[in-house]
Structure formats: C-alpha cells, structure tokens
Amino acid sequence: MTHRLRLDLPEDGIYCVSLRSCDYSMRIYINGKEIDSVGVPGTSRETTEPRTLERVYTFGTEAGAVEFIVHTANFVHKDGILAL
C-alpha cells in the first residue's frame, strides 16, 4: 500500500515528524528521497520482514511544501499476529 501526503509549510523552516510506532514494514520518502526503511516491505507474507520501531525525522521544505510517501506492507506483525 502507498500513502502520499503533501503539506504546505512556510519556506526556510526546519520541521520534524515523529512516528511513535512504525508497525510492520515501511519505506519512507520525504521530498522524493528515501530517508528510512523499517523492516522490508514485500509483496507477500513470505517476502515481508516485519519490524516495529519509533522514529523522528527532520526535514526542510522545497518551494513551501513537503511531500511524504510511505510504502507499507502489513501482512504479519513482528509478534506473529496476522494483520487483517
């Protein structure tokens, strides 16, 4: 699954976003640049490596906006619980 979020923010600012629990597996992009991955998001239960971590990301804006793209794979929780 892919999520996209664009925020219009004042230019020349430094901002951060905190993810209290990056569950399952995800790949995170800010302004088109991959900044982190948590586990390995795959296309099936067999190709997905689940993880759970907390993260804080710091970023600036480009032309007064920031774009987040998050690829996720939620087939199995790291503790063995099937995600429906």
Spatial contact of 74 and 41, defined as CB atoms under 8 Å apart: no
- Domain span holding position 35: 2-73
Number of domains making up the chain:
1
* Residue type, position 47, single letter: T
Mean pLDDT for the stretch of residues 50-60: 85
Q: Is residue 81 part of a domain?
A: no
Q: Is pLDDT at 82 greater than 50 in this prediction? A: no
pTM: 0.76
pLDDT of residue 33: 93
Among 18, 23, 26, 20, which residue's Cα sits nearest to residue 1? 26
Task: Name the DSSP class of 70.
Answer: E
- Segment 1-50, tens digit of pLDDT: 889 999 999 988 889 988 766 556 888 999 999 999 888 888 888 888 88
Among 44, 58, 51, which residue's Cα sits nearest to residue 27? 51
When comparing pLDDT for 76 and 62, which is higher?
62
